[in-house]
């Protein structure tokens, strides 16, 4: 199973109840196709960077879906034919999460090695200064 993020922008003239129905519809499509909706993030109404279909703002929604890819194709197909959706984008994020985890582990290892070297260095200088004082 792969992890995908599906961002879609709904036109601003859609009511909140219709927006909820749209989100539930896409979630149900994913579940019926065999995927699992991990997270639904409603980002709210935001200004667009440039006008799309004469709209200057829209409702942003991000679905995080765990599936094989066939479900994503079906969701995208339904988004293309839904008039309320003015833009959508699907991105596979599992590879990015693996890469980020790898870098996080590497950074933690370097941090531990740096602290260990600093601890050894401070003990070594403390021992040298004690030896000089005894002479």
- The enclosing H or E element of 2 equals strand 2-10
User: How high is the mean pLDDT of the chain?
Assistant: 87
For the segment 57-81, the average pLDDT, to the nearest whole number, is 93
CATH number at residue 24: 3.30.70.60
Which domain does 63 fall in, by range? 2-92
Cα–Cα separations (whole angstroms), residue 93 to 2, 90, 108, 110: 8, 9, 22, 26
Mean pLDDT, rounded, for 82-97: 90
The reply to whether 119 and 65 lie within a common domain is: no
Per-residue confidence (pLDDT) for residue 108, from 0 to 100: 84
Q: Do 6 and 89 meet the contact criterion of CB atoms below 8 Å apart?
A: yes
Arithmetic mean of pLDDT, 108-129 = 71
One domain, residues 67 and 131: no
pLDDT: is 103 or 25 the higher one?
25
Q: Is residue 135 part of a domain?
A: yes
In a domain? residue 33: yes
Residues 23-47, mean pLDDT to the nearest whole number: 94
């Amino acid at each position: 199973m792969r992890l995908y993020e599906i961002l879609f922008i709904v036109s601003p003239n859609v009511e909140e109840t219709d927006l909820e129905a749209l989100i539930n519809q896409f979630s149900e499509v994913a579940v019926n196709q065999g995927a699992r909706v991990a997270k639904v993030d409603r980002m709210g109404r935001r200004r667009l960077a440039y006008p799309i279909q004469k709209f200057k703002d829209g409702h942003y929604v991000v679905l995080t879906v765990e599936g094989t890819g066939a479900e994503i194709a079906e969701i995208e197909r339904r988004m293309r034919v839904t008039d309320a959706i003015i833009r959508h984008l699907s991105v596979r994020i599992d590879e990015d999460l693996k890469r980020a985890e790898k870098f996080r582990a590497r950074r933690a290892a370097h941090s531990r090695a740096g602290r260990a070297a600093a601890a050894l260095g401070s003990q070594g200088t403390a021992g040298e200064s004690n030896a000089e004082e005894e002479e």
